[in-house]
Amino acid sequence: MVKLNNTISLWSEAPIIPNNSIGAISGGGWLFVPESWWSVPTFPENFDISLSTYDSIVDVISWSSLRAFYFAPDWLNHYHIDDGTNLIYQDTLSIAWDLSTASQVHTHNISWVWWWLRWMCFSSDGLNYYAVWSTADSIRQYTLSTAWDLSTSSVNYVKQFVLWYATDGIAMSDDGVYLYITYSNRKIRQFTLSTPYSINTATLTNTTADLLDFPLALHISPDWKSIFYTADNDFVYQFNMSTPYDILTAVYFSRVDVTNSSFVRWLWFKSDYTKMYATSQTSPRLYQYSTNN
């Protein structure tokens, strides 16, 4: 017998919790939540990127040259772009985060601009993804009929947003209202989408002052208080925002040398932020760092 919120619940036997789920008492019964729902990113308080140290290299010999990389929230699906192609690949992992267990399940040919597909990101619900084309200075939005399943992607883009400068990095807030883009003029710009997730409704909201070095890949912490970006001098920079989401409040905090990665392009963190991953534009390698936070 369990009493919760003045409700008495009785079970004749212990409830059976499905695999990969967590059981929670709710309204006198059990609510089963898939693991992918509760395994959410956790960002350490007072995180400092400068404490990161180099660990090891993962050679991904099946890839020719790694440009961008993206993990789904279940950490069992990841997506990558080979530099110099217009292809996006989806792989599944039998063990979360373990790339040695990856199997390719789909390749999506965007077929628009050759050589300059730079970056990609997904909406938080996995039903939209956004591809950045540097040479055309634009972002194109594609839809998926099944969340996170690239094989269900629309063949042609459904919406487009034309930029003013060449870009590499892109990030979107979980609610689809804010879009952040790195620019080749040493700035990050913040846009507001009047219709969440609809890229063609974006309007410029804020622009940072000149940053330290030219920003490339972009990552924003889950509490939307810290900005991380790679630069062409092989450093990863951390800026902290005193007001979440508002890049006008961002100030430089620290940086870490990642010259081991040799012309670092892409940046990602493990969900608990104990590990950082970077890619090299010159080889199909994934470089791992311990953040020591």
Whether the pLDDT of residue 36 is over 60: the answer is no
pLDDT exceeding 90 applies to what percent of the chain?
31
Contacts of 159 (CB under 8 A, 6+ apart): 140, 141, 198, 199, 200
39-290 is classed in which CATH architecture? 7 Propeller (2.130)
Q: How far apart are CA 91 and CA 99, in angstroms?
A: 9
Q: Are 280 and 261 within 8 A, CB to CB?
A: yes
The least confident of 66-80, 103-117, 175-189 is: 103-117
DSSP per-residue string spanning 168-220: EEEEE-TTS-EEEEEETTTEEEEEEESSTT-GGGEEEEEE----SS-EEEEEE
Whether the pLDDT of residue 132 is over 90: the answer is no
Q: What is the pLDDT of residue 65?
A: 59
Whether the pLDDT of residue 171 is over 60: the answer is yes
Q: What is the pLDDT of residue 35?
A: 41
User: Which residue has better confidence, 39 or 192?
Assistant: 192
pLDDT band at 115 (very low <50, low <70, confident <90, very high): low
User: Which residue has better confidence, 151 or 67?
Assistant: 151
Average pLDDT of the chain is 77
The least confident of 28-42, 71-85, 97-111 is: 28-42
Provide the 8-state DSSP code for 14: P
pLDDT band at 206 (very low <50, low <70, confident <90, very high): very high
Q: What is the pLDDT of residue 29?
A: 38
Q: How far apart are CA 99 and CA 118, in angstroms?
A: 22
Q: What is the pLDDT of residue 173?
A: 92
User: Which residue has better confidence, 109 or 248?
Assistant: 248
Can you give the pTM of this predicted structure? 0.78
Please state the domain extents for the chain: 2-37, 39-290
Q: How far apart are CA 149 and CA 40, in angstroms?
A: 20
Reduce the DSSP state of residue 248 to 3 states and report it. Answer: helix
